[in-house]
Chain A
């Protein structure tokens, strides 16, 4: 145990704390220079979740491996129950109450997808990967939560699940031509799926294509967030000096658009610093993956790193107008418990994978 504490990847822990503190500073500013209501709770969550993550790091990896599918099925059931509440209850919802905690199962499912796929490819013999029939199970693992999230409807999360799946399948060694084929199938499916989109989602996509055309309505968020970022310049307006967010022009400034607030107050230097921190964090995950002796640890670390990557890229692309506004938070920075819990716990799994990296096989064959 003492050995494990010594060998814990403190760089990763430090990065998590640093990024979360930057997030807290942004939330402090978003509240007009107040710890309440966001910054204080953000920091409390950080402490709590980090503690849980470190405990998770010390758990025997075999236990996690054995329960990987169970975790997946449990989180899938949670997601389904949200769906059912949405259908039979009042209006659509993405949250569910678990032990008094308001949790978004769609955030948790991404982690259990990683676990399930990691176990699947750990168990699969390498020469079996080529087989088409062995593609069926991983696609099922991805498809079920994807569909459930799409009908919520949560376009951003659905898209990130799809991307996460593609990245993991790629990392696990699926043949390239299968991706090319899948890509064409997707292209064909786009017009079909457009029919199933909610009107507001269609609006979002169209406003992304030409935000200035309707600057006063749907393009509003995007233009305001670009104004916030752009007016920050190189060095920013200074901490607590961001007028865009102060004047309430920034929509959802404490959640999905927190990055623009930081960009306004700390400028290009601030945004670059955050991006580099994330890149460093993802690099640590990849380093742990390469180091790992077992496929489970490798896929798990790559999966968690990719998940982080998807969050970061989608969020920043969204607020800087590279893609439509789809409602994806910036991990560890945006306010919101579910995403933070999912991210920190998943990093706890990566810590675990590193501590148990020298194991060869996880099952007693």
Chain B
């Protein structure tokens, strides 16, 4: 029975084995087909997805370096600010979350609509910015309610801040997002959202202040979600920078300048070229430029016809007027055309060709030597000697005294000005030089244009007995020794004694500004306004008074202090200030006195 069944059993088993085998082969077929679908048919789709499956680099932005004044006062630093984000996937009802947030801080209606629209477009794990730069008290309120508001996320950022907003704004500049060209700069490579310095020290020292970016390698899946952090390299803080400006003098000076519509003053240490004060008015508040929205403020700056963005100390070009006379006198002495005894008679005017050239004093100064001519600022004396010196020699001396130059100091957008010569005119206008133009140039009018920093440098060179002073704005520890211009020694001695008389002898043009406690020397200048130095905006309804103001002369004063063994040189320019003696010299006196008091 056992054996008879065998045959039957084996045939059943064979059949079942065969069926089972068939089943298995067909399953292998199904699996094979599936793999064909994925690996051949849809391969393109998966290849694309595979490429998106990547390691991303996230940039960790560095904290910008601080800027200090010479006494370690912070001029520019960074404050923590907080941005509020919402992450749609973390809240069940984004509307409800926004409502709750709205009870703490008002979110305006259009912003709210934008957020809601955005939340539908972006991936649900992406954060959407709701509020920017919220303050501490708002932050506290949100933090204390955070558990109740779903999906809220607060991120910390740094914002540049300027402690002495208007005082050093031109010099320090401000930061902002880079424009298209700036993005290419090597030091901001790979940091597209970095705010960079756009003006002043902030701009010149971008590479130092910025620091080094860090980075975070993050694994991102094909949907853009961060899976994990692979590596992290922290950013490096930017270097701090200390400038030579003394904030106290700067503030004091700016207050003096603010009594006038527009003007500037530069104070330098003549021994090392350090600029202690470089004030310009009107100025602007960089904090208001940084904080968004800034359009309103920005527009108000651009519409202001006094052009608050202009840094008058280096960008304002003025005819130097009588402050140029030292240069002419020095040229006369070193070229042997005059000595201390050479005299010219001033009758109030001289003629050259068919034109008359007037002295500022209509009835004339009488007989003048060089010392008197500087002290009383006699124009005729300089007309006379300039005829003999010639414009080219004057120009050479002017350049030796720092005029018509752009200095190698980290101050962007310096304006060079003009020291005219035959060659210059030929090049510029393709015209030959007229003798009359020499006379005009000799009193610092005509083509001659200088900026206030140049005038301060010129005065420093005179005050330091001919040291080739180069201005400096970054505080340095090593002592700087400037080369002496030997050939001017004798001439400078004569000029310095004349400049002392300007302030300290009766009949001197700045005699009214003399100071018993702080004896100083200097030279006034009053330059006729042939054209407005600062591009004026044409407006059709400008008031009569405005026109009058614009027609007034610029008031200038250059000087050094103390009169004996000087340490400081100053230049003051008040636009349309009337006369140098009445407007500029008193300001110089105040600055000198204030500076001297600080030393004690």
A residues within 8 Å of B by Cβ? Answer: 125-127, 167, 170-173, 215-216, 220, 223-224, 226-234, 243-244, 247-249, 263, 267-268, 271-272, 275, 278-279, 282-283, 286, 289-290, 295, 298, 302, 305-306, 309, 313, 316-317, 320-322
Contact = CB atoms under 8 A, between A and B. Distances in A.
A275 B42 contact: no
A227 B13 contact: no
Interface in B376-391: none
B31 interface: yes
B31 A322 contact: yes
Interface in B1-60: 1-2, 5-6, 8-9, 12-14, 16-17, 19-21, 24-25, 27-28, 30-32, 34-36, 38-40, 42-43, 45-47, 49-50, 53-55
Contacts of A228: 50
B542 interface: no
Nearest to B46: A230
Given A233-B39, A247-B53, A125 B223 contact: no
Given A125-B5, A126-B8, A243-B53, 14 more contacts: A126-B12, A170-B19, A173-B9, A227-B46, A233-B39, A268-B35, A275-B28, A278-B28, A289-B17, A306-B20, A313-B28, A320-B34, A320-B35, A322-B31
Nearest to A316: B31
Interface in B427-442: none
B67 to A, nearest CB: 44
Nearest to A128: B5
B236 interface: no
B222 interface: yes
B90 to A, nearest CB: 13
Given A171-B16, A286-B21, A230 B125 contact: no
B49 to A, nearest CB: 5
Interface residues of B, number: 43
Interface string B347-384: 00000000000000000000000000000000000000
A243 B31 contact: no
A275 B32 CA distance: 8
Contacts of B5: 125-127
Given A230-B45, A233-B39, A248-B219, A216 B225 contact: yes
A171 B24 contact: no
Contacts of A317: 31, 34
Contact of B222 (A126, A227, A309): A227
B176 interface: no
Contacts of B34: 316-317, 320-322
A-B pairs with lowest CB-CB distance, top 3: A230-B46, A231-B50, A126-B9
Contacts of B35: 229, 263, 268, 271-272, 275, 316, 320
B221 interface: yes
Given A126-B5, A171-B20, A313-B27, A244 B38 contact: no
Contact of B39 (A229, A248, A298): A229
Contact of B31 (A172, A267, A320): A320
Contacts of B17: 171, 286, 289-290, 298, 302
Given A126-B8, A227-B46, A282 B24 contact: yes
A263 B39 contact: yes
Q: Which of B16, B39, B125, B222 has the most CB of A within 10 A?
A: B39
B16 A172 contact: yes
23 contacts: A125-B5, A126-B12, A127-B5, A167-B20, A173-B12, A173-B13, A226-B38, A227-B50, A230-B39, A230-B47, A230-B49, A230-B50, A243-B50, A249-B53, A263-B39, A275-B31, A275-B32, A279-B28, A289-B17, A298-B13, A306-B24, A313-B28, A317-B31
A290 B34 CA distance: 31
A279 B25 contact: yes
A290 B42 CA distance: 41
B39 A247 contact: no
B47 A302 contact: no
Contact of B46 (A226, A248, A279, A306): A226
Given A216-B225, A295-B13, A268 B28 contact: no
A268 B21 contact: no
Interface of B is mostly: helix
Given A172-B16, A268-B39, A220 B221 contact: yes
Contacts of B25: 279
Nearest to B53: A249
B13 to A, nearest CB: 6
A289 B8 CA distance: 17
Contacts of B125: 216
A250 B6 CA distance: 52
A290 B53 CA distance: 50
Contacts of B53: 224, 227, 243-244, 247, 249
B31 A247 contact: no
Contacts of A247: 53-55, 219
B223 A215 contact: yes
B13 A244 contact: no
A321 B34 CA distance: 9
A231 B13 contact: no
Given A227-B46, A290-B14, A317-B31, A233 B40 contact: yes
Contacts of B9: 126, 173, 295
B258 to A, nearest CB: 60
Given A172-B16, A279-B25, A216 B39 contact: no
A219 to B, nearest CB: 10
B35 to A, nearest CB: 5
A89 B14 CA distance: 48
Contacts of A263: 35, 39
Contacts of A248: 219
A231 B55 contact: no
Given A215-B223, A279-B28, A322-B34, A231 B47 contact: yes
A298 B43 CA distance: 42
B415 to A, nearest CB: 56
Contacts of A306: 20, 24
A282 B34 CA distance: 20
Contacts of A173: 9, 12-13, 16
A243 B46 CA distance: 12
A298 to B, nearest CB: 6
B13 A172 contact: yes
B49 A227 contact: yes
A321 B36 CA distance: 13
Interface in B196-250: 219, 221-223, 225
Nearest to A174: B16
Given A170-B20, A226-B38, A263-B39, A231 B31 contact: no
Nearest to A244: B50
